[in-house]
Structure 1
Amino acid sequence: MDFHDVRFPARLSFGSMGGPERRTEIVALANGHEERNTPWAHSRRRYDAGVGLRSLDDIAELVAFYEARRGEMFGFRWKDWADLKSCVPSREVHFEDQVIGIGDGETTLFHLVKTYRSGGVEYHRPIAKPVAGSVRIGLHDTEQVQGTDYEIHLATGRVTFAEPPVDGIAVTAGFEFDVPVRFATSRIVTSVASFQAGEVPDVPVVEVRI
């Protein structure tokens, strides 16, 4: 996949607008009922990178980043300030934040996931872009040592254990993460006059599948 493992400047994404999008196909039946179906197993996030721009220097930094990514060609990391941890934003990451699997005595490869719960229903979101230095892994109630007990692949979110976790033991994780995105526009239109008047360019970005 065409992806540059660099993060969009975090200070420019701070204050940006965006969030998850889902696609639902709705068919209205003759009796007034509906049939609803979704072709997407996972939501897709969209953001506006233009909202966080506050100066002409910010615009110059945005244009440089856009040009280096060749516009829509190459993906990059995006910091979603509203959803960036395995726990709630106000808490510190802990190795027991998320259950990412159950040991079977054979499997050594697990994938980072974040579970969203509401009303007794769960959604498991794959996490493909953990932040370096933030990942903590545990087995049952014991934190493991990176480089000795396991390795983390930062480009995919995969966790590989040196030895398979024993049967029935919970594999847990805590982490910060970025969203893999690309620009969703083939051009950036800027104007010094309009920016000084308080108008910022519309710079959409959209999540990509990894």
Structure 2
Amino acid sequence: MGFHEIRFPTSLSFGSAGGPERRTEVVTLANGFEERNTPWAQSRRRYDAGMGVRSLDDVAALIAFFEARQGRLYGFRWKDWADFKSCLPSADPAPGDQVIGTGDGATAVFGLTKRYVSGSESYQRPIAKPVTGTVRVAVAGVEVPPGGFSVDDTTGQVTLGVAPGAGQVVTAGYEYDVPVRFDTDQIVTSVASFQAGDVPDVPVVEVRV
């Protein structure tokens, strides 16, 4: 799958609408009870990039980005302004934000994840596109200095210089992007309709990487 490691202009994504999507199959039985199942282990996010377009200059920037990605052909990074940190939106990422693994004395590579918790239930989301320079890591509650680990910003894999000891909890804090692509091969714009308040419909959908 083709993917460009470039972020969609944040000035345009700021006004966008969207969020996570689930797919649930519901079967209603003869007695009125339901059976529910899902073929998706992970949620998928959808956005409308056209909602953030406010001027004709924005339209020009959108079209340039769209053409450079060749429509749906190449994926790209997207900043979800409602969900782009390992912590609450009002806080700054800290090295203890998210548990990403437990040491066994040999493993030194851990994938970034984010856990969503509500009551006794939770969902763990893999994070594949951390923002360069934002990742902080701790082992057993002690922050690892920048030279003590490396991050693959294209996969979300963290490699520690020294494998954590058995039972030592590895945590991380970071900002991240969502890997997406355009979900259309056409952008329809009209200067007259845009000046009247209409914005183009530009669907964007998350991709697996």
How far apart in 2 are the matches of 1:198 and 1:20? 27
Partner residue in 2 for 1:86: 86
Partner residue in 2 for 1:159: 158
- 1:142 to 2:142 alignment: yes
Structure 1 residue 149, shift from structure 2 partner: 1.6
Structure 1 residue 98, shift from structure 2 partner: 0.4
Partner residue in 1 for 2:182: 183
Question: Residues 120-141 of structure 1: CA distance to partner in whole angstroms, max 9, x if unpaired?
Answer: 1010000000001100000011
Structure 1 residue 77, shift from structure 2 partner: 0.2
How far apart in 1 are the matches of 2:182 and 2:145? 37
Moved over 2 A (4+): none
Question: Unaligned regions of 5+ residues in structure 2, if any?
Answer: none
Structure 1 residue 150, shift from structure 2 partner: 1.2
Partner residue in 2 for 1:127: 127
Q: Secondary structure at the match of 2:61?
A: helix
Structure 1 residue 91, shift from structure 2 partner: 0.3
Structure 1 residue 168, shift from structure 2 partner: 0.3
Question: Residues 148-195 of structure 1: CA distance to partner in whole angstroms, max 9, x if unpaired?
Answer: 321100000001112210000110000000000000011000000000
Q: Secondary structure at the match of 1:45?
A: strand
How far apart in 1 are the matches of 2:41 and 2:117? 16
How far apart in 2 are the matches of 1:205 and 1:141? 38
- 1:204 to 2:208 alignment: no
Identity among equivalent pairs (%): 64
- 1:5 to 2:5 alignment: yes
How far apart in 2 are the matches of 1:33 and 1:109? 45
| Range moving further from structure 2, 40-49 or 28-37 | 28-37
Normalising by structure 1, report the TM-score: 0.98
Partner residue in 1 for 2:27: 27
Question: Residues 8-41 of structure 1: CA distance to partner in whole angstroms, max 9, x if unpaired?
Answer: 0000000210000000011111111111110000
How far apart in 1 are the matches of 2:171 and 2:139? 6
Structure 1 residue 119, shift from structure 2 partner: 1.5
Q: Which amino acid letter does the alignment assign opposite residue 130 of structure 2?
A: P
Partner residue in 2 for 1:70: 70
How far apart in 1 are the matches of 2:75 and 2:143? 33
Q: Which amino acid letter does the alignment assign opposite residue 155 of structure 2?
A: T
Q: Secondary structure at the match of 2:176?
A: coil
Provide the aligned length of Structure 1 versus Structure 2: 209
